Amino acid sequence: MGKFDGKLLVSDMDATLFNSKREVSEENYNAIKYFTSEGGKFSVASGRMIAAVRNFVDEIGINAPAITYNGAQMYSFENDVLLYERNIEEERKTAIRKVYETQPQFGLEVYSDEHIYILRECFETDRLRGKNYAVTFHMPDEVWDKPWTKALIIGDDEALDKFEPIYRKEYDDGYVTRSGKYYLDMVATGATKGYGVEKLAELLGIKREDIYTVGDNMNDIEMIQFAGHGYAVANAVDELKKEAEAVVPSNDESAIAYIIKNLIE
């Protein structure tokens, strides 16, 4: 019997598990290794696609299925199998078309079948060049008829702050969330990180009161609210901090190690 048997810790990746250099600190890595060696289950919940999480699996040290696309998918890297998937409702694609036609200041990306299609380039597009996953720097017409896992509206943070309430009121009444200051993510309604954590806990047979989650942005709020113990890193947005049980050190101060050593152990 390990001291962490029956415990589940799920972390956001960017600006939570990763420091400002987009690395897992040695302290975090060693703490995760200790946690899992003592029976704990550790995983991530990310807005990233499967291929983008796969690149870091060994560095992260997860030993449970990962939640990807903000909760729209759950994937087992150990068994290389997709455990569930929820695609965007077909009728909601018209909102992305409307943004394309009426809001030229925003970049647009569509994620379908682990492939990224650029509907409109923007200042963030270069982050996708040279990656080892599939990116097409235009969007063929036939992609409108494919199932979509996620769509991303990208813009300057002030412009996106102003547009977000307009989008919610006039463009789309389905689920969208901010995953970062430049990103407004559309996924299937109900496909949140909280939904993903709930399904992961059911799969592992872990009680809600033994679930620990941590994040930094609004796409983490549902898993913070669902978990028995939900935390916000010190660099998190204020809205998330208000929902958290506690605020823990920042992503540059090995927040995951702090949680394991001070709040779970």
Q: Per-residue pLDDT tens for 67-116? A: 999 999 999 999 999 999 999 999 999 999 999 999 999 999 999 999 99
Question: What pLDDT does 153 receive?
Answer: 98
Task: List the beta bridge partners of residue 214.
Answer: 11, 231
Q: Using CA atoms, how far apart are residues 68 and 208, in angstroms rounded to an integer?
A: 20
pLDDT tens, position by position, 9-34: 999 999 999 999 999 999 999 999 99
Cα end-to-end span (Å), the chain: 14
Say yes or no: domain 90-186 is CATH 3.30.1240.10. Answer: yes
Answer whether 196's CB lies under 8 Å from 177's CB.
no
HSE, CB side, 13 Å, CA atoms: give it for residue 2.
15
Question: What pLDDT does 233 receive?
Answer: 98
pLDDT tens, position by position, 138-193: 999 999 999 999 999 999 999 999 999 999 999 999 999 999 999 999 999 999 99
Task: List the beta bridge partners of residue 154.
Answer: 107, 183
Q: Using CA atoms, how far apart are residues 117 and 27, in angstroms rounded to an integer?
A: 37
Contacts of 171 (CB under 8 A, 6+ apart): 95, 98, 99
Answer whether 68's CB lies under 8 Å from 58's CB.
no
Contacts of 143 (CB under 8 A, 6+ apart): 110, 112, 117
Q: Using CA atoms, how far apart are residues 144 and 257, in angstroms rounded to an integer?
A: 43
> Average pLDDT of the chain?
97
Torsional sign, CA 81, 83, 88, 89: positive
Stretch (H or E) spanning 258: helix 255-258
DSSP 8-state secondary structure symbol assigned to residue 95 = H
Answer whether 188's CB lies under 8 Å from 175's CB.
yes
Contacts of 187 (CB under 8 A, 6+ apart): 69, 70, 71, 72, 86, 88, 149, 150, 175, 176, 177
Q: Per the structure block, which two tokens stand in for 54?
A: 């796969």
Question: What pLDDT does 243 receive?
Answer: 97
Question: What pLDDT does 1 receive?
Answer: 76
pLDDT tens, position by position, 27-60: 999 999 999 999 999 999 999 999 999 999 989 9
Average pLDDT over residues 211-219: 98
- Report residue 132's pLDDT band, with 50, 70 and 90 as the boundaries: confident
Q: Using CA atoms, how far apart are residues 112 and 49, in angstroms rounded to an integer?
A: 10
Contacts of 154 (CB under 8 A, 6+ apart): 106, 107, 108, 109, 122, 123, 124, 160, 182, 183, 184
| Fold adopted by 8-86+191-264 | Rossmann fold (3.40.50)
Domain extents in the chain: 8-86+191-264, 90-186
Question: What pLDDT does 120 receive?
Answer: 98
Answer whether 148's CB lies under 8 Å from 117's CB.
no
pTM of the complete model beyond 0.85: yes
Q: Using CA atoms, how far apart are residues 191 and 188, in angstroms rounded to an integer?
A: 5
